[in-house]
Structure 1
């Protein structure tokens, strides 16, 4: 197990402290939370009127430090929480963290009474099999009332003896997702009490010049608020040079109480809000930038100076009975604002569905056709006229001019909720409208099709799987229209809508049923309102392998495409092709050396995309899951397929994360087993992460003793740093939890070269030169193909696998000829070895 390196002072959160660490990108990114319910000891009068300290009923947090190190858009965040039991009896301390949906936990350590307990990552099902049988006697954890959107919650507790202390160190990694032309790091803070030593520190070092760096007003964490000057964080923003900065937030006790008052919470509960850091980087106007380090590369692509493509937007809106009341009103409010954001060169259609589907005729509402029946919502009367797609006279897409926008707003105001939820009819009609425009030879302007599909419930016509399959079959071919699905409220099936979007070149979002639902819808539309390129492809040299996704149907302004892979000693200069407003374009990026751990970024992005593909490709679900698990275990990431097994005094626990929006009374803490898994994932094509050492945050060695050590003095707030070497030292100096036994983590290639000394003589730039040709060694590949081979080194039938995946035969391969005698070829390009089926 790798050693889990932990930053003692870490700040920045891709989510929040009170609410998110995994997607949470909460519309941005969210992070962690440490929670407790009692305030610091108060004084009360005892005998003879002398003040006597009131002993709190739970341990108190006396220090909470959060530090995030961001290098090249990839953040490594460490949260440190220290608590003390003031009581004269043992008490339970609770460490509660909320992760963004796109963040992966990469390490966790508890320090109790001077002893360290290090968590380790295992396969999810295996961790469940190890669950303690006494889990059924779990107790409620409802007192930890922490909530946030688009996030998962991690909770672990431990008993602390009287007058003793405990410390929790958690690390997670995340790529900042660029939206609306900026990166946003959100730190959720909710300690549950005023904390004397509370600090958040965000350290940013980029390869390009920082622009638009700021710390906007604090947010509540669950609703979109307008700017409130009273919530100014008064952050200290220190520019180290053009490409580096430190942002600090260190509210004292009085300021924490003031902010709590502004948020409308109890002052004694401390600060409960989100600290945000926003920034962007100066753009290369052409092909973006490629950063290379140790044989891996990452390519950031966000071209500037491109005009948006004209688009055809088909709004498919659920107006079933469950949308009655506030939901339909919020939908109308949002649509009225969204219609104003259409460009003059755009066109649009308005479709509503309930028991039937209606395409609005904006010029004459009474002529609007219902499909498949002419009117009645609830019943299929025998005398109703059936309207098929083929014989229906549907209106064409409307130009987004001022007159049509006004007519569309009148139609939106006329929407009423009633009937059931026949989803497929709505999708089929919407896709038909796209096809009509695409095949019209008289159309002089080719527009980028976009479908926005919103529903608040589950379908009543077909099963979700049938709808997904039928829609994907209908929407096939090279000009597949992207479908962006919005789940509205708690009744919608988010998993189904995510799968529907992924299979149709789009992505899904959840719109929370709250006062700001209209603003959530507007913010979503803003993300996809400016398509810049279609059919974007990245082509690399054949020697560049382990590539993440390289084909993107559409690229939106304000966002970013991220690609990573293995290049060895080859300089990766891809050709980028796409179609813009002026037709075909071809671009090339600039290449430079990276300042971050690109290998971990590659691993993060690969896992994310494999899990995304797993949801979209039913026939390859197990194969993709296996590949994702292998990488997750190798790099010790907690994902949807791997778990964090938490080691505690006298027990070892597997703990699953809960969706952070669940009400506290829905949560249960299982005292005897704690495994943490990320049970949600909502990646976009432009997310990735990787930072730090072998495990970025902390490799683990469960049975080793750990001691606290400092590699070098940590720069303190207010200390100026101007030299490049000082900036490097800023990251290297992070205090770490290190084992007393000195251990280093070797790469796969290093392990192979130590085990097989002859390998260096036949290996050049990752290629093995054999008697029948030259093949890739594939140390960074995972190949699940089953290829039978006749002769293993043990003279028995086996299967062909990559050399590093069959260590049991290494001792039998004393020289290169031994390997060549048992070599087999995988995918016509990789040198494998015939491995025994039963090692």
Structure 2
């Protein structure tokens, strides 16, 4: 070996050493992602090449139900496995009507409590603390059901515990209470539009693709291929104190164990102990016969004000004895819309087909109907709605049975087509929209519903393990209809039967609430139409002296009047925040009616600060007093890609092969510490739902020195070595 060859080997060895030494700290982390691109809760650590995922050690959910209100506490524990000071981002879904009011973060031996400030002020407080080396956290609302927490200056090897608390009003429908805890945010389809930006020298136009969703990059998550075998274990415990005996407690989404305690208290936990964060958790319960509530009242005295939460269940309509069995049934035109886009692949499309075919069999001979399917395109079964008969129903069943899932979720053209009235004229026109709601342009869709609804009514049916319930609840509200969620294929017939029972019953409309005192502020201000089996729920701030409330409305040819004494009731902490959350929701709805943004944002921010809840214009911020990080160190960001929602098809979305279902997660062995947790890096098993052209082709390992710089130095050294080798051989 001549001297030049010796130099080549000496230069090559350091080059290889740099790459290996700096890859090891990152192998415990996940792949690159963006701040709000996780479908389920996950902690992102900021590094020089972007955000990467810290390992999740455990997620515990505790739900306590008292009367009409559920209080939920979510605890997630994370670990920083790097040798760096880092900044972390924690992304999580919550129910769309949740009032988030508490954040506690424990980092090492320091406990930080959050306080609510106006968004810009909270961001400035956080950034100042970060620059001074102090630990700080910031909670922001992305959408009513998606939140983000950012944590600054987490030290090497430190554990992080995040405890978030919120409350919500239970759903009550047809003598059944239910609560839903979302664990996964499904990726949203973002439609694009083309416009001419100018003309080139060749004479042809230059086109620009634009996405009409301003925050598209914050709601389009990357997905983890089920073939990677990655798990996100979650434990869930629920305590139900309903105040009366229950005949049934069940979950249509997960196996559960139920234990009855004294005083009509029920303890519920997952049968398997842990589940994966790939499907929303739904729990429902039903009172024994004779205990179905007709009304309920909960109240709270807070900061000198009296707040009340009132539920009234209108009595079922009695048949008119002079009209035979019932009133004459009105003829109806029913337009069915079924989502056949790629996100509906797998179990979802089969569930949607089953629901639609079952519903076709419920139509009456005096009705007319049509079916519209949509993905990237829109197609009608008939050019116009047709009368119901054996031939048309048979043709529709065959057509629906042959549908498959593919393409994008271009919902707006399908919605527009459904809202256009054809030549058929029936006394009632209704649209039944079957979808998972996986879209990002919700505001555009709601605007069209409000503008073009006319005399139609819109009913949304949520399909799949993680539907966009925020959009579908709002769409039904704006469409004067109701939202039905089908959590599993076994529920299809029961839930669709309940929906059609509502449609065949007179609707309670033109509801007015009158109090026997002035100065009452109640929300919602305009009571929506109420269908059979649904309650009227009102949150009110009451002045002194209120003793009675009167509810009036119409149902068919019947005038309804209900008088209630509002004295007494049960004391319940949190009613004031429920009132504030409902007022915020009404203010946000006013934006779709043309209310000025400046006025609405000021009102919402004032409410959020006063009642200590997170809103679009208020955030939670927590700052430590003592600096702990070196002032001259800039914290880097790091992230765990989330699971594909259960029942979705990877093959339909991205091609390739579907993997077997993820295995059941297991608890770490007793005594296992964060340093003993072994993780596999799965960068090859993660795909972004952004355009593939914008995806990075490779991800570089990271240590305290940027890997891109190290590889650049290494490439330069290899080049020099190659030249020396050639000169040596020539000599």
TM-score band, normalised by shorter chain: 0.5 to 0.7
1 CA distance for matches of 2:159 and 2:613?
28
2 CA distance for matches of 1:493 and 1:173?
19
322, 331, 335: which is aligned to 1:315?
Answer: 335
Check 1:174–1:559 CA distance in 2 against 1; reply closer, same or farther (3 A cut).
Answer: same
Check 1:185–1:86 CA distance in 2 against 1; reply closer, same or farther (3 A cut).
Answer: same
Name the SS for the 2:583 alignment partner: helix
1 CA distance for matches of 2:342 and 2:84?
52
2 CA distance for matches of 1:506 and 1:245?
34
Partner of 1:409: 397
Corresponding position: 1:560 with 2:554: no
Deviations 1:692-744 (A, max 9, x none): xxxxxxxxxxxxxxxxxxxxxxxxxxxxxxxxxxxxxxxxxxxxxxxxxxxxx
- TM-score, normalising length: structure 2: 0.54
Corresponding position: 1:504 with 2:479: yes
576, 584, 597: which is aligned to 1:599?
Answer: 576
1 CA distance for matches of 2:44 and 2:443?
43
Check 1:602–1:159 CA distance in 2 against 1; reply closer, same or farther (3 A cut).
Answer: same
Partner of 1:575: 550
1 CA distance for matches of 2:616 and 2:533?
29
2 CA distance for matches of 1:70 and 1:456?
28
Corresponding position: 1:106 with 2:101: yes
Check 1:424–1:104 CA distance in 2 against 1; reply closer, same or farther (3 A cut).
Answer: same
Contact 2:434 2:461 in 1 (8 A): yes
Partner of 2:249: 214
Corresponding position: 1:530 with 2:551: no
Deviations 1:160-193 (A, max 9, x none): 7689765433211112222464223355789x99
Partner of 2:314: 303
Name the SS for the 2:518 alignment partner: coil
Query: CA offset at residue 211 of structure 1?
Result: 2.4
Query: CA offset at residue 415 of structure 1?
Result: 7.0
357, 370, 389: which is aligned to 1:350?
Answer: 370
2 CA distance for matches of 1:235 and 1:100?
23
Task: Kindly report which structure 2 residues correspond to 1:263-278, keeping only aligned pairs within 5 A, or say none.
Answer: 277-278=283-284
Contact 1:488 1:511 in 2 (8 A): yes
Partner of 1:116: 111
Q: Which runs of 5+ in 2 are unaligned?
A: 1-38, 46-52, 132-142, 185-229, 319-325, 646-731
Contact 1:313 1:452 in 2 (8 A): no
Corresponding position: 1:451 with 2:428: no
Moved more, 583-592 or 127-136: 127-136
140, 144, 152: which is aligned to 2:146?
Answer: 152
Query: CA offset at residue 247 of structure 1?
Result: 0.8
Query: CA offset at residue 350 of structure 1?
Result: 1.2
Task: Kindly report which structure 2 residues correspond to 1:249-648, keeping only aligned pairs within 5 A, or say none.
Answer: 249=269, 256=273, 277-281=283-287, 288-294=295-301, 295-306=306-317, 312=332, 314-317=334-337, 331-340=352-361, 342=362, 347-352=367-372, 368-369=382-383, 395=386, 398=388, 405-406=393-394, 408-410=396-398, 412-413=400-401, 427=416, 430=419, 432=421, 436-438=425-427, 447=428, 449-453=429-433, 472-476=450-454, 480-484=455-459, 502-506=477-481, 523=495, 526-527=498-499, 530-531=502-503, 532=505, 533-541=507-515, 543-580=518-555, 583-589=558-564, 591=566, 592-597=568-573, 598-614=575-591, 616-647=592-623
Partner of 1:237: 260
Partner of 2:239: 203
Contact 1:68 1:76 in 2 (8 A): yes
> How many aligned residue pairs are there?
513
Contact 1:119 1:645 in 2 (8 A): yes
Query: CA offset at residue 66 of structure 1?
Result: 4.2
Partner of 2:200: none
Deviations 1:577-610 (A, max 9, x none): 3333563332234644222133222122222232
Query: CA offset at residue 73 of structure 1?
Result: 1.7
Query: CA offset at residue 245 of structure 1?
Result: 0.8
1 CA distance for matches of 2:235 and 2:419?
51
Contact 1:67 1:201 in 2 (8 A): yes
Name the SS for the 2:537 alignment partner: strand
1 CA distance for matches of 2:82 and 2:379?
67
Check 1:287–1:571 CA distance in 2 against 1; reply closer, same or farther (3 A cut).
Answer: farther
Query: CA offset at residue 412 of structure 1?
Result: 3.9
2 CA distance for matches of 1:304 and 1:402?
37
1 CA distance for matches of 2:183 and 2:260?
19
Name the SS for the 2:70 alignment partner: strand
Contact 2:309 2:538 in 1 (8 A): yes
Q: Which runs of 5+ in 1 are unaligned?
A: 1-30, 38-56, 137-148, 220-230, 264-270, 361-367, 371-393, 439-446, 665-839
Greater relative CO (CA pairs within 8 A, separation 6+): 2
Moved more, 281-290 or 99-108: 281-290
2 CA distance for matches of 1:458 and 1:414?
22
Contact 1:84 1:165 in 2 (8 A): yes
Partner of 1:268: none
Partner of 1:46: none
Query: CA offset at residue 279 of structure 1?
Result: 1.9
Task: Kindly report which structure 2 residues correspond to 1:8-23, keeping only aligned pairs within 5 A, or say none.
Answer: none
172, 176, 197: which is aligned to 1:182?
Answer: 176
Give the CA RMSD over aligned residues: 5.9
2 CA distance for matches of 1:165 and 1:356?
49
Contact 2:539 2:582 in 1 (8 A): yes
Query: CA offset at residue 100 of structure 1?
Result: 2.5
Name the SS for the 1:67 alignment partner: strand
Name the SS for the 2:257 alignment partner: coil
2 CA distance for matches of 1:159 and 1:573?
55
Name the SS for the 1:171 alignment partner: strand
2 CA distance for matches of 1:537 and 1:290?
19
Partner of 1:750: none
Contact 1:284 1:304 in 2 (8 A): no
Query: CA offset at residue 121 of structure 1?
Result: 1.7
Check 1:431–1:285 CA distance in 2 against 1; reply closer, same or farther (3 A cut).
Answer: farther
Query: CA offset at residue 322 of structure 1?
Result: 7.9
Check 1:458–1:651 CA distance in 2 against 1; reply closer, same or farther (3 A cut).
Answer: same
Query: CA offset at residue 545 of structure 1?
Result: 1.6
Contact 1:185 1:276 in 2 (8 A): yes
Name the SS for the 1:482 alignment partner: strand
Contact 1:181 1:557 in 2 (8 A): no
1 CA distance for matches of 2:268 and 2:608?
32
Contact 1:152 1:659 in 2 (8 A): no
Deviations 1:787-834 (A, max 9, x none): xxxxxxxxxxxxxxxxxxxxxxxxxxxxxxxxxxxxxxxxxxxxxxxx
Moved more, 281-290 or 617-626: 281-290
1 CA distance for matches of 2:588 and 2:491?
30
Name the SS for the 1:234 alignment partner: strand
Name the SS for the 2:397 alignment partner: helix
Query: CA offset at residue 407 of structure 1?
Result: 5.8
2 CA distance for matches of 1:465 and 1:218?
29
Contact 1:107 1:171 in 2 (8 A): yes
Task: Kindly report which structure 2 residues correspond to 1:772-787, keeping only aligned pairs within 5 A, or say none.
Answer: none
Query: CA offset at residue 562 of structure 1?
Result: 1.0
Name the SS for the 1:178 alignment partner: strand
2 CA distance for matches of 1:359 and 1:72?
46
